[in-house]
């Protein structure tokens, strides 16, 4: 049995040998599923924002600008202040002609950026990100790191990007296989060192195959 309490202003990175373990955990926390056993309690003041990999919340027929507009207006509310939606687009590297691009025609990286922009403008105090670094360019990745590091709330991040987690995570929730889940206080590097102390060298080894037969004509 594992009991976990996510602290305010913490950033917890989740990783697993099998991706579905961490993904389902966050889905349950986002209210999209119910636990098989035990209980999951959400505090009354929790206002969660959830960004998954499916990007199902995006309307393929909208333009980038239209997707971010609130009730058709060109001004959005962000952190208690008013901001023009075109300026907000620029934060996520959508500039000039990009504003009129059809969402359905965007690349994977562009859709990821738009999904992040749409989620983060909603506001909240718990940010749940599912593989947020997929397809991101370097500039957007650095902007995302800065946003998470300065986020005035709790961040829960599923990622296989160890370097990304090492720069941001204050805690690690690791699904280590065989139904073993570990909640570790510290960075990814510190967790990795602890894992090696407990389990020994776990680096993957090259698989050796039998030589291919030579077929002569």
Domain positions in the chain are 11-189
Q: Sort 99 into a burial class: Cβ within 10 Å, 0-12 / 13-18 / 19+.
A: middle
Sheet holding 11-16, edge to edge: 48-51, 126-130, 154-158, 11-16, 171-177, 180-185
Q: What is the rounded average pLDDT for all residues in the chain?
A: 79
* Region 133-151 average pLDDT: 81
Token output for 36 = 């098989």
pLDDT winner (highest mean) among 147-161, 162-176, 203-217: 162-176
**Using CA atoms, how far apart are residues 28 and 39, in angstroms rounded to an integer?**
10
| DSSP helix/strand/coil, 73 | strand
What's the CATH code, domain 11-189? 3.40.50.300
Reply yes or no on whether the pLDDT at 101 is more than 90.
Answer: yes
Token output for 47 = 């206002």
Name every residue whose Cβ is closer than 8 Å to that of residue 4 and which is 6 or more positions away in sequence.
173, 183
**Using CA atoms, how far apart are residues 56 and 75, in angstroms rounded to an integer?**
24
**Confidence (pLDDT) at 105:** 93
Reply yes or no on whether the pLDDT at 164 is more than 80.
Answer: yes
Give the helix/strand (H/E) hosting 181.
strand 180-185
Token output for 120 = 């983060």
C-alpha count within 13 angstroms, C-beta hemisphere, residue 28: 14
């Amino acid at each position: 049995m594992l009991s976990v309490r996510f602290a305010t202003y913490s950033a917890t990175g989740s990783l697993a040998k099998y991706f579905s373990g961490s993904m389902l955990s966050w889905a349950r926390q986002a209210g999209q599923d119910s636990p098989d056993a035990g209980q999951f309690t959400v505090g009354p003041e929790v206002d969660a924002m959830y960004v998954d990999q499916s990007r199902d919340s995006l309307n393929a027929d909208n333009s980038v600008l239209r997707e971010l507009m609130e009730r058709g207006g060109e001004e959005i509310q962000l952190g208690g202040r008013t901001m023009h939606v075109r300026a907000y687009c620029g934060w996520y590297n959508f500039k000039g002609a990009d504003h009129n691009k059809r969402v359905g025609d965007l690349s994977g990286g562009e859709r990821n950026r738009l999904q992040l922009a749409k989620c983060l403008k909603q506001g909240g105090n718990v940010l749940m990100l599912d593989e947020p670094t997929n397809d991101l360019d370097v500039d957007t990745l650095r902007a995302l790191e800065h946003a998470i590091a300065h986020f005035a709330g709790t961040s829960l991040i599923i990622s296989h990007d160890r370097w990304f987690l090492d720069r941001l995570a204050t805690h690690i929730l690791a699904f280590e296989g065989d139904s073993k889940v570990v909640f570790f206080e510290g960075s990814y590097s510190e967790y990795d060192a602890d894992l090696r102390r407990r389990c020994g060298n776990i680096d993957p080894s090259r698989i050796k195959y039998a030589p291919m037969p030579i077929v002569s004509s």
